[in-house]
Amino acid sequence: MAGTFFGWRVVAVSFAVAFLSYGCAVYGPGVWLHALVLERGWSVAFVSACITLHFLAGAAVASRLPALHTRLGVATTTRLGLVVLAAGCAGWASACGVGR
C-alpha cells in the first residue's frame, strides 16, 4: 500500500474498528447470553447482570474518552481499546464458572 492514498487506510482501519466493536461489544452479549445459559447452565438473571455490568463499564470508559485521547493520543487509546475488547471477548468465551 505504499502508493495508496492515505485516506483509504483510514477507511480500512475505521471499518475494522467498527466491525469489531459493534460485533463484539454491542451485538455479542445477546449471543453470549443464550450460549452461556445453554452450555454452562447459568441462570439468565446472572448472565444478564454480567451483560449489564459490561455495558455500564463501557459507558464509564466512554465518558472519559476525551481525557484519555488528550493524555494518550487517539491512536494509542484506540489500540488499547481493541486490546481490552479482545481480552473481554476471550474472558466471555473462556469463563468456566461463576466468579472465575
Q: Rounded mean pLDDT of the chain? A: 84
What is the model's pTM? 0.68
pLDDT in tens, 80-96: 988 888 888 788 777 77
CA distance 84 to 80: 6
